[in-house]
């Protein structure tokens, strides 16, 4: 997958991407740029952490405005990629779709 084509925005410490699988409309992920000494999501602090939460809040607001999801899920699993990243997954009630 050529993730460069899916990049929405680049920040100082993070990049925001549209997830290639849109089974949940608006699914995105935020990926940490190369940061020395950060190898675990819970090791993020200071400016890097603050920027992450700012991006997450902005995405949550945008997704709620655009698609009105019923709730938001967040996942930081690192099952297939060693790079720290967090999925932002809007969820929709099947009864309302």
pLDDT value at residue 69: 97
> Which CATH class, in words, describes the domain spanning 3-96?
alpha beta
Q: Are strands 85-91 and 71-75 parallel, antiparallel or unpaired?
A: antiparallel
Domain boundaries in the chain?
A: 3-96
Output the pTM of the full model: 0.90
Distance of alpha carbon 36 from alpha carbon 16, whole angstroms: 20
pLDDT value at residue 25: 96
Both structure tokens of 70: 């019923």
User: Is residue 25 within 8 Å of 62, Cβ to Cβ?
Assistant: no
pLDDT value at residue 40: 87
User: Is residue 19 within 8 Å of 28, Cβ to Cβ?
Assistant: yes
- Mean pLDDT by 10-residue block, N- to C-terminus, for the chain (97 residues)? 89 96 96 84 93 97 96 90 93 85
pLDDT value at residue 39: 84
């Amino acid at each position: 997958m050529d993730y460069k084509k899916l990049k929405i925005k680049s920040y100082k410490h993070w990049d925001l991407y549209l997830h290639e699988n849109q089974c949940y409309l608006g699914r995105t992920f935020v990926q940490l740029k190369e940061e020395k000494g950060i190898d675990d999501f819970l090791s993020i602090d200071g400016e890097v952490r603050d920027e992450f939460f700012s991006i997450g809040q902005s995405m949550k607001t945008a997704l709620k405005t655009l698609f009105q999801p019923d709730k938001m899920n967040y996942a930081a699993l690192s099952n297939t990629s060693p790079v720290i990243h967090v999925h932002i997954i809007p969820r929709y009630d099947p009864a309302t779709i």
